[in-house]
Chain A
Amino acid sequence: MNLKTLWRTLVAGAALALVFSLDVGSAQAAGGDQKFNSVCAGCHSIGGGKRVGPDLKGVTDRRSEAWLLKFIKSSQTMINSGDPDAVKVFNEYNKTPMPDMAQFSEADIKEILEYIKGGGGGGAAPVMAPATPAEIKLGGELFQGIVRLKNGGAACNSCHHVTNDAVIGGGVLAKDLTEVFTRVGGTGVGAILGKPPFPVMEAAYKDAPITPEESRALVGFLQDVDKKRAMQTPKDYGNQLVLGGTGMFIVLMGLYSFAWRRRKPGPVNQAIFDRQVKSQ
């Protein structure tokens, strides 16, 4: 399995998990805005630009309602049946499949579409109050594990990396989060943190959920990272690390051979063994 397929599978699984883990009952009871923000906003914005999926502003004008209903219910069925528009969107977004929204009735979907049509209740994605510097600092500390997450979850940099001079780099087990804010936006990050849609992350934080305050701090931090990413000058050690290690190894070997210069060099009867006839 190549990386791309893996990533796709992960995202698809993640979206599915996100969908099924949400409280379906309350989503039905609520209006289109709530439904959109709790389910769709992880991947889509309304006038906020591309995320995992396309910006949905004006989508109701671009496509017919019937097409949208069909696509939202099961995008893969449409793609497989060879609908040209569906295939085009699918290819444009790195062939990342959109999960089937089986939990929404037709009426639900219409409500959501109504909400999108209305410009997302205000035209753009819901705006969060900008994080205070203290929150950004806390977010950085939480990210690195300097401050422990309240419920004992693993620090973000166990798996994730961000390019930021103030932070020690993190792991490479999961996606680089430097530009995550651009990709999924504040709501998306918040949604992912609240209910991780990725199987591994979901398992990791199942018994150790991130609190809303922590989530806010982390979102603030990631936004800050995203904003300042152009100004960062990450140090590239390059070959220095290898060369330094080799040099130190030679120094240590020299030191050891000096400290143990009087050691027993080998078998006392080596001269005899050298003379013996070998079978091979």
Chain B
Amino acid sequence: MDIRAQVSMVFHLDKCIGCHTCSIACKNIWTDRKGVEYQWWNNVETKPGTGYPGKWEDQDIYKGGWERGDDGKIHLKGAGKGKGLANIFHNPYLPSVEDYYEPFTYNYLNLIEAPPGDDQPTARPVSLITGEPMDVQMGPNWDDDLSGTPDYARNDPNLKKLSPAEQEAMFQLERMAFFYLPRICNHCLNPGCVASCPSGAIYKRGEDGVVLINQEVCRAWRMCVTACPYKKSYYNWHSGKSEKCILCYPRMEAGYAPACMHSCVGRIRYLGVMLYDADKIEKTASMPENELINAHLDIIQDPFDPEVIAAAKKNGVPDSTIKAAQNSPTYKFVKEWGMALPLHAEFRTLPMLFYVPPLLPVMASVTETDGAQKSKLNPIAKTWTDNWLYDTSTEELWGTIEQSRFPLKYMASMFTAGDEKAMAERLKKLMAVRIYRRWKTVGDIDEAKVNQVLKDTHLTKDECESIYYLTSLAKFNDRFVVPPAHREQAIEMLEFTGDVKGSTGFGFRQKPERGM
């Protein structure tokens, strides 16, 4: 057992309102410099949609991530030693700037400085790359909220697995739904970017697993851009180095949550340490596709297990980090309750950002009724002239999940590498907590039914309360359990502090002299 600590994240998609505050917080801190204008280390995508950069999930185009060979071993799909060397001067699968979008600003000064003329002065868009006037072709969220559906949402790579009839069903006007998918670097356990770098510039920090690019060592081969299946490593065209999300490690070292998480309006983000067994990484990443999800979750170890704690201590994981792991909200969501799932586990990078899948569009259905229920409503209630019903009832316990507006197949393609059963299990748990809370607060559901629901989902009432608390009421320190950074230990790894004892620090090294 080789127990290491990893800072992991959980994003609760049911709570995301798609406000992009996280993206703005990140951009203002990290990517408002020349050369990185187009980079959004944090971005929020609408699903279904093609995302940013366009169709990033389609590895037939971008060749990101790992693939399992016939020998059962994994190889990088578009990079690595052989392929990297063969393509070292021409990396053929790179996204171009058009796939992200050409960053632009407007010539605002023209509005007040234009000479007198026949026409109103305008602020023309100007490229932030060339400085020339340009036609804006695309922005980072051109397909936000399903805009341009025929071009974007319809081309969602996840739809490939759905039959044409199923796809049509998704895009019926009455059934159309979407949810938001905020994305940052996953700080994977088996990162493709690290494996692909010919310069060895990318590394995974030992103490918390944050994946970083050393700007001194990076030589702009851009293999990481190809190798990352999530396209979360970006090339800075000005500095000639690649950059990526650093999980705000300077903030974390000071005990703060990363900026995107701190600023999240919907409070959808959770951050905490998890302990994992590094010996199992290769085996886990090489699992057949249908076993990937379970293997991925199995690599995360119980922070209360004395054996795990002993192994962690032997590896130099500080007690404070182990304690943080025991309080970790992410461990609860991912392991204890089994509600959160990694995004696209089939890329085999073992991402450590997990998503609680969205239930809301799943739950409701639109049916035509005889209008009888209208008579039960208060006279001042707003009603419609037709008899369509937006049905959120829980009469049929699990029926709505199978008939959901997002086909299970679509969700499974994103979160469980195609395993619909595992997907349904998570959605049922989400629903179970709702049914339980409805029973508790509204009281219009039979307790026997609640017990049946909990039995089906292997949850207890206490667990439901905890899930409810962490989902809806959690305070700042419940959502973010940042482990102390122990910078003093990092220094001790580099030099023996005894060497400088008595010769640095406060006080005078020589006696102060006064006078001339």
Residues of A within 8 A of B (CB): 256, 259-260, 262-264, 266-270, 272-273, 276, 278-279
Contact = CB atoms under 8 A, between A and B. Distances in A.
Contacts of A272: 137-138, 148, 151
B96 A260 contact: no
Interface string B117-158: 000000000000000010101100000000010010000000
B138 A263 contact: no
Interface in B38-62: 50, 53-55, 61-62
Contacts of A256: 90
A270 B61 CA distance: 14
A217 B133 CA distance: 65
B146 to A, nearest CB: 16
A273 B101 CA distance: 11
A257 to B, nearest CB: 11
B93 A264 contact: yes
Contacts of B50: 268-269
B94 interface: yes
A263 B135 contact: no
Given A269-B151, A272-B151, A276-B135, A263 B98 contact: no
Given A263-B93, A264-B92, A264-B93, A269 B138 contact: yes
Contacts of B151: 269, 272
A149 B464 CA distance: 91
A272 B138 CA distance: 9
Q: What 10 A-B pairs come out closest when comparing CB atoms?
A: A263-B92, A267-B98, A268-B54, A260-B92, A268-B55, A273-B137, A269-B54, A264-B93, A279-B135, A272-B151
Contacts of B54: 267-269
7 contacts: A264-B62, A264-B96, A269-B98, A269-B151, A272-B137, A272-B138, A273-B137
Contacts of B55: 268
Contacts, number: 46
B302 interface: no
Contacts of B277: none
Contact of A262 (B62, B92, B148): B92
Nearest to A272: B151
A264 B61 contact: yes
A158 to B, nearest CB: 32
B135 A266 contact: no
B94 A264 contact: yes
Given A260-B90, A263-B93, A268 B135 contact: no
Contacts of B94: 264
B486 to A, nearest CB: 44
Interface in B97-111: 98-99
B93 A276 contact: no
Interface in B75-115: 86-87, 90, 92-96, 98-99
B143 to A, nearest CB: 10
A259 B85 CA distance: 13
A85 B95 CA distance: 79
B96 A267 contact: yes
Interface centre among A260, A264, A266, A279 (most CB of B within 10 A): A264
A259 B62 CA distance: 17
B441 to A, nearest CB: 47
Nearest to B151: A272
Contacts of B95: 264
Given A267-B54, A278-B135, A273 B98 contact: yes
A261 to B, nearest CB: 9
A270 B98 CA distance: 8
A278 B137 CA distance: 9
Interface in B144-178: 148, 151
A205 to B, nearest CB: 42
Nearest to A269: B54
B225 to A, nearest CB: 12
Given A267-B54, A267-B99, A269-B99, A276 B137 contact: yes
A260 B63 CA distance: 13
A263 B94 CA distance: 9
Contacts of A269: 50, 54, 98-99, 138, 151
B123 to A, nearest CB: 13
A181 B64 CA distance: 69
Nearest to B98: A267
Contacts of B86: 259
A267 B62 CA distance: 11
Contacts of B92: 260, 262-264
Given A256-B90, A260-B90, A264-B94, 12 more contacts: A260-B87, A260-B92, A263-B93, A267-B98, A267-B99, A268-B99, A269-B99, A270-B98, A273-B98, A273-B137, A276-B135, A276-B137
